[in-house]
Amino acid sequence: MPTQQAVLTGHSIIAGQPAPGRGGTANGFNPATNEILEPAYTLIDAGQLAEATAAAEAAFESFSSLDPETHAAFLERIADNIEAAGAELIARAMAETGLPEARLAGERARTTGQLRLFAAVVRRGDFRGVRIDPALPERTPLPRADIRQRKVPVGPVAVFGASNFPLAFSTAGGDTASALAAGCPVVFKAHNAHPGTSEITGRAIADAVRDLGLHPGVFSLIYGPGSSIGQALVTDPAIKAVGFTGSRSGGTALMAAAAARPEPIPVYAEMSSINPVFFFDGALKGDVDALAQAYVTSVTGSSGQLCTSPGLVFVPAGEAGDRFAAAVERVLSGAAGQTMLTRGIADSWNAGVEALGAQDGVELVARGQAGGTQNAPAPAVFGTSVDTFLSNTVLHEEIFGAASLMIRYASAEELAEAARKLEGQLTATLHLTEADYATAAPLLPVLERKAGRILANGWPTGVEVGHAMVHGGPFPATSDPRSTSVGTLAIERFLRPVAYQNIPQELLPAPVQDANPWQLNRLVDGNIELAGGNR
């Protein structure tokens, strides 16, 4: 059974073993107080990184061919071990991020929930994409060979921890969970802002590897500078794909490094999004105070440090829009700033807000109060016109934190023009009533080209982990708009198709054998064949 975690060591975990780094040390900080947190974490050097990637390569053959039940049980054991870490995990995450206990408890539940969801995906096996075209030796004018296809893991994957989700987008988060579910060993680079949280979670994974008797190279946790160790990890020949959540500059640097390799590899980077919200006239005929409260809550939740925080809101010009802006001012004036994740993030937010407020044609709509801790600046909403927005690229830049820009538009044509000028986004939101459908309809094809998720009469913050979710979008929201980093479709990033032509049954892998020993649903001669043999 999983056990309570031990005292923090301050070291990387390479192939199941503590690995004191040889490249210096770094500490976490409590952003609420700016106090240094112990222990100091030792940073690995290039030689130790090579040990981790070599172990991942050595683990690939056995891990990529696990039977579904063992594979699923491994993912479930990780979830069990994370839960067994108990209060220690939550307390350390609170100290390192300034996030409240309830938020982190929910994030832990999301982390373990997605691991168990992927376990169910592994047992079902549809992600293996089995297709069989039986031989047709009598076909004229040419016979058809026996051709079978399945998806196989791409190889060891490098995953980078995110600053804003120390659990759900970190050590055992969506990128790691989907890569492990695909059958890919993972070398995880911890985010230096929450090293202790990463170590506790990393132990949960390493213990699961040991408990299931898997090759220890299935998972390694490393600490090191992103500018050196991070770049070296992406360019290591053993690594075949990368998962990243962070800044546009960080993501594009990794993309460039991966593209420059002798063997280029894909980087699945989630980067920058301002998540526009579009209000139509009908929506503002209702309770504008409730709408303003919901908007402010979405902007300020987790100090605005969510990848889906609404950084833009388009509001009609005129009396209805004026009432909404006044309601936002009333609500936000009573809101206090929350502790941001790091002092550096708070400094960047302050610089971004100062730059936004200094732009011609931009004015302050509302400002809250500074929070009672360090690094808790007052949230802010600014306002401008469509013309100003279209003429100033500064207004299109993400400010990571509790800030938003309200844009007043005079016509549906103006709104569509502004939407066409947006960069790629994770989300786009419509607030409307049935009376607005005809006006909103022409906007939808525009937004389909701009965003990975379009929602109505809600708020983009809060991402459901399920089968239909898309958490991705055109650049710079992500580096590859064909993928998602949340939901079961995320597994597709770490798979590739292989076809087997006229291979004897005795040599075929289990998923494509006639006997179907893993009981998978398969596409046989273009028809769906269920595991029981029915079509």
* Residues designated as active site: 270, 307
Q: Nearest-CA neighbor of 64 among 519, 510, 522?
A: 510
User: Can you tell me the distance from the alpha carbon of 351 to that of 357, in angstroms, rounded to the nearest whole number?
Assistant: 10
φ, ψ of residue 157 in degrees (nearest 5): -120, 135
The answer to whether the CB of 88 falls within 8 A of the CB of 108 is: no
Q: What does the longest C-alpha to C-alpha distance in the chain come to?
A: 80
The answer to whether the CB of 162 falls within 8 A of the CB of 271 is: no
In sequence order, the β-bridge partners of residue 189 are 160, 222
| The pair of three-digit structure tokens given for residue 284, joined into one six-digit string | 């503002």
Residues 6+ apart with CB under 8 A from 291: 279, 283, 284, 324, 327, 431
| The pair of three-digit structure tokens given for residue 2, joined into one six-digit string | 């999983």
Cα–Cα separations (whole angstroms), residue 60 to 119, 209, 222: 19, 13, 19
In sequence order, the β-bridge partners of residue 244 are 269
Q: What is the dihedral of CA 505, 506, 511, 514, to 10 degrees?
A: 40
Sheet architecture: strand order including 380-385: 363-367, 380-385, 403-409, 312-316, 276-279, 425-431, 451-456
| The pair of three-digit structure tokens given for residue 241, joined into one six-digit string | 């794909």
Q: Where are the beta strands (DSSP E) in 402-494?
A: 403-409, 425-431, 451-456
User: Can you tell me the distance from the alpha carbon of 494 to that of 266, in angstroms, rounded to the nearest whole number?
Assistant: 9
